[in-house]
Amino acid sequence: MKASVALSVAVVLTIAAAGAAHGAAVPPYPSKPVRLVVPFAAGGLIDTLARVLGQALSERTGVTTVIDNRAGATGTIGMNIAAKATPDGYTLVFSSSSAIAVSPHLYRVPYDPVKDFSPISTITALGSVLLVHPQSSARSVAELVAVAKGNPGQLKFGSVGPGTSQHLAGEVLKMLAGIDLLHVPYKAGGQVLTDLIARQIDIDFEPMPTALPHIRSGRLRPLAVTTAARSPLLPEVPTIAESGVGGYDLTRWTGVLAPAGTPAAVVSKLNAAINQGLQSPEIKDNFARFSAEAKIGSSQDFADFIAAEAPKWAALVKASAAKLE
């Protein structure tokens, strides 16, 4: 009996000790490097913005933020990797409007953009510019529309692929202006600009950061910006909407998300660190170099924003009858 009691006490003490050790072994978050999945190729705008944010996040959390580029299928591959990761705050995804709000309405994606993620924070708002060659006869959106109506299906616009913001920008212009344009998809954004300069295509809806150098050099002519309001970087350039195509507004955005089920305390800590970074002079200066506007808000603000954006982009995709070539 004594031996049995002694054995029982030993077992209880062992279990208690193991539990205490286990509890003590759980360090406060974060205690190891954080992986930031970027579902787009290295060197592009989204990747560049993610690296700027990653550095700021490392400085404010005290652990390294590792950038993990997982490009493919307009962001779908990287988004799926993040959605299936352990929801412990050590895998995040730096995504964009195309992967969160657009692709699910164009493809059968293996993730739910709302149910499979815990939004952490919006990061930037990004605009694009409607560009033509300087020798184009169109000097305004109205003139471009007139040329397109006189030559249905002849004017070509380039994009980095079906379902991207460049592609949808052209499809929505077709829909709202009542014109027929020919979509020419490319594998790399640089090739779109190269072919526009060479006059192999006629139109490009180019992201602001890569458009500005060519506008300033005179190699390309801006007709309008795609956002609802004029850009402070090109205050003399009108919006497409004010140029006669009412209702036109395509603003791209980026944000950071975690897998669904990530603890609320972790989400809150990450949101606070990101917002601190976004308010810092170095982040503002870095983002300004890429014509990106920092967007500060709570994780709930971002969740509400996604909930509002998803049906908006779904309606645009459906109304424009955008096709995947």
Tell me whether strands 91-96 and 128-132 are parallel, antiparallel or unpaired.
Answer: unpaired
pLDDT tier for residue 4 given thresholds of 50, 70 and 90: very low
Q: To 10 degrees, the CA torsion angle through 46, 249, 73, 171?
A: -140
50 within 8 A of 108, measured Cβ to Cβ:
no
Going by the DSSP 8-state scheme, the letter that residue 162 receives in this structure is T
State pLDDT tens for residues 226-244: 998 998 889 999 999 999 9
Alpha-helix residue ranges (DSSP H) falling in the chain: 2-25, 45-61, 76-83, 97, 141-150, 165-177, 189-197, 208-217, 264-278, 281-289, 299-320
What does CATH list as the number for 34-126+252-320? 3.40.190.150
Residue 171: CB partners within 8 Å, gap ≥ 6? 183, 320, 321, 322
> What pLDDT is attached to residue 26?
66
All structural domains of the chain with their residue ranges: 34-126+252-320, 128-225
Highest mean pLDDT among 17-21, 31-35, 46-50, 306-310: 31-35
Match domain 128-225 to its CATH number in 1.20.1250.20, 3.40.50.300, 1.10.599.10, 3.40.190.10.
3.40.190.10
Please state whether the peptide bond connecting residue 30 to the residue before it is cis, i.e. omega within 30 degrees of 0.
yes
- Determine the Cα–Cα distance for residues 54 and 286; give it in Å rounded to an integer: 12
pLDDT tier for residue 25 given thresholds of 50, 70 and 90: low
- Give yes or no on whether 34-126+252-320 and 128-225 have one common fold: yes
pTM, full prediction:
0.77
